[in-house]
Amino acid sequence: MQQTNLKFTFLKRVLLTTSAFAILGTGAAIPKFISPIVSAASDAESAQAASSKLSLTQDGVTLKLSDVFYDGTRLSFSIEREGKNLPEGVMSLYLPIDAKASKSLKKYMVPEKDQKKGYVKSPEVLIDGKKLKSFLEFGEKVSQKNTVKAEYNQLGSLSDDFEMTVQVGVTRISKPFEFKVPVKKDSSAVSVKPNTTQKSGSFSYTVKQLDITSHTTRLVLDSEGQVPASSQQTGKYAPSMMYYDIVDDQGKTLQQRKVGFYNSKPKTKYHIDELYSAIGSRPQYVTIKPYTLTVNPSNWSLPVKAREQTASIKTEIRHISRNLK
Query: In the 8-state DSSP scheme, what is residue 120?
Result: B
Q: Which residues of 44-60 are buried (b: 16+ CB within 10 A; e: fewer)?
A: bbbebbbeeebeeeeee
* pLDDT at position 280 over 80: no
**Residues 149 and 243 both lie in one domain:** no
pLDDT digits (tens, 9 = 90+) for 102-134: 888 888 899 989 999 999 999 999 999 999 988
Report whether 224 contacts 271 (CB < 8 A): no
Say if 44 falls within a structural domain: no
Say if 132 falls within a structural domain: yes
**Residues 198 and 162 both lie in one domain:** no
Cα–Cα distance, 100 to 303 (Å, whole number): 35
Other Cβ atoms within 10 Å of 319 Cβ, number: 25
pLDDT grade for 143, boundaries at 50, 70 and 90: confident
Q: What is the pLDDT of residue 304?
A: 56
**Residues 319 and 193 both lie in one domain:** yes
Please give the share of the chain, as a percent, with pLDDT higher than 70: 76
**Residues 165 and 208 both lie in one domain:** no
Q: What is the pLDDT of residue 169?
A: 96
* pLDDT at position 146 over 90: yes
**Residues 64 and 98 both lie in one domain:** yes
Of 184, 201, 225, the one marking the end of a domain is: 184
Burial group, residue 200, by CB count within 10 angstroms (0-12, 13-18, 19+) = buried
Mean local confidence (pLDDT), 307-312:
40
Report whether 277 contacts 217 (CB < 8 A): yes
**Residues 55 and 180 both lie in one domain:** yes
Report whether 313 contacts 199 (CB < 8 A): no
Cα–Cα distance, 300 to 295 (Å, whole number): 6
Say if 3 falls within a structural domain: no
Of 148, 163, 184, the one marking the end of a domain is: 184
Report whether 272 contacts 249 (CB < 8 A): no
**Residues 203 and 268 both lie in one domain:** yes
Mean local confidence (pLDDT), 143-165:
90
Closest CA relative to residue 138, chosen from 77, 185, 89, 61? 77
Cα–Cα distance, 221 to 249 (Å, whole number): 21
Higher pLDDT, 83 or 186: 83
- Residue ranges making up the domain that contains 313: 13-37+189-323
Cα–Cα distance, 128 to 3 (Å, whole number): 45
**Residues 199 and 214 both lie in one domain:** yes
Say if 180 falls within a structural domain: yes
* pLDDT at position 28 over 80: no
**Residues 163 and 196 both lie in one domain:** no
Average pLDDT value for the chain: 77
**Residues 279 and 205 both lie in one domain:** yes
Tally of domains in the chain: 2
pTM, to two decimals: 0.61
CATH number at residue 117: 2.60.40
Say if 5 falls within a structural domain: no
**Residues 197 and 255 both lie in one domain:** yes
**Residues 277 and 297 both lie in one domain:** yes
* Opening angle at CA 18, ends 15 and 23, nearest 5: 130
Other Cβ atoms within 10 Å of 66 Cβ, number: 19
pLDDT digits (tens, 9 = 90+) for 196-238: 888 888 999 999 988 888 788 889 999 999 998 888 888 888 8
* pLDDT at position 319 over 60: no
Of 184, 210, 239, the one marking the end of a domain is: 184
CA quadruple 69, 70, 73, 76: dihedral, nearest 10 = 40
Cα–Cα distance, 149 to 123 (Å, whole number): 10
pLDDT digits (tens, 9 = 90+) for 31-78: 333 222 222 233 334 333 444 689 999 999 999 999 999 988 889 999
Q: What is the pLDDT of residue 303?
A: 67
Say if 225 falls within a structural domain: yes
